A and B are shown apart, each in its own frame.
Chain A
Amino acid sequence: EAGVAQSPRYKIIEKRQSVAFWCNPISGHATLYWYQQILGQGPKLLIQFQNNGVVDDSQLPKDRFSAERLKGVDSTLKIQPAKLEDSAVYLCASSSPSGLGTEAFFGQGTRLTVV
């Protein structure tokens, strides 16, 4: 079974530039998550989709971050404009219906460095 695919693996940009990350979840997984993991911290949920609808985006900095999941499969996360403090690993995860007992399956992540 193919896992969660993310690209790119690494990205270096200057502050105030824009960047986009792509995620392809495990086939059939209706729930998709984007997490931000800053060095030394645990993953922090940015946004959660159920199919193509947003379930939780309470911690997404909406002035600069946006995400979409067209057709309920692939998803993109965009940052515009980037700040130095956005340097982190961005993780995508998916799960089958987000019931209480289901775990998330994670991709390798995209390591973003903002200089």
Chain B
Amino acid sequence: AQSVSQHNHHVILSEAASLELGCNYSYGGTVNLFWYVQYPGQHLQLLLKYFSGDPLVKGIKGFEAEFIKSKFSFNLRKPSVQWSDTAEYFCAVKSNAGKSTFGDGTTLTVKP
């Protein structure tokens, strides 16, 4: 069975600090990897995804993530966070059978 583990439940940063949120998955086959974000009061939306090719993917608002196959990881990064990045972040894996599994999320609070 596939699973996703997000290491940090709650992260608090000051503006301009760098961000890295950990995500590890377990699945033996080909996968797609996603990061979704949920801003306060809004619905879940896609931040970025990895399908194939370059393991370093760039998403909206300056976010990027690196797929490291040997480590089963897909960590999310941003060099300098803003107050508006305060949100909940979910990592998800989608198997080649089309089944998606989400991690339990990381709440990011950015202090102005």
Q: Which of A's residues lie within 8 Å of B, judged by CB?
A: 3-4, 31, 33, 35, 40-45, 48, 55-56, 91, 93, 98-101, 103-109
B60 to chain A, nearest CB (A): 12
Given contacts A48-B98, A101-B32, contact A91 B44 (CB under 8 A): yes
**Are A44 and B102 within 8 A (Cβ)?**
yes
User: Does A98 contact B90, Cβ atoms closer than 8 Å?
Assistant: no
A residues less than 8 Å from B43 (CB atoms): 3-4, 106-109
17 contacts between A and B (CB under 8 A): A3-B43, A31-B98, A35-B102, A42-B90, A42-B92, A42-B102, A42-B103, A42-B104, A42-B105, A43-B102, A48-B98, A91-B44, A100-B32, A101-B32, A106-B43, A106-B45, A108-B43
B77 within 8 Å of A by Cβ? no
Measured between beta carbons, the chain A residues less than 8 angstroms from B72 are: none
Contacts of B101 in A (CB 8 A): 45
Knowing A3-B43, A100-B32 are in contact, say whether A42-B98 is a contact too (CB < 8 A).
no
Closest chain A residue, CB of each to CB of B100: A45
User: Inside 8 A of A93's CB, which chain B residues have their CB?
Assistant: 44
On whether the beta carbons of A101 and B49 are closer than 8 Å, the reply is yes
Query: Which residues 48-75 in B have Cβ within 8 Å of A in the complex?
Result: 49, 51-52
Q: Which residues of B contact A (CB under 8 A)?
A: 4, 30, 32, 34, 36, 42-46, 49, 51-52, 90, 92, 94, 96, 98-105
Please report the C-alpha to C-alpha distance between residue A97 and residue B44 in the assembled complex, in whole angstroms. 19
Separation of A31 and B98 alpha carbons in the complex (Å): 10
Question: Nearest A residue to B95 by beta-carbon distance?
Answer: A100
- In whole Å, how far is A72's beta carbon from the nearest beta carbon of chain B? 17
- Selected from B90, B96, B98, B104, the residue in CB contact (under 8 A) with A40 is B104
Asked whether B51 lies within 8 Å of A101 as measured between CB atoms, the reply is yes
Whether the Cβ atoms of A100 and B105 lie closer than 8 Å is: no
Tell me whether A45 and B34 are in contact (CB under 8 A).
no
Decide if A104 touches B100 in the complex (CB within 8 Å): yes
- Give, as a whole number of angstroms, the nearest-CB distance from B76 to chain A: 15
Contacts of B34 in A (CB 8 A): 103
Q: Residues of B contacting A101 with CB < 8 Å?
A: 32, 49, 51-52
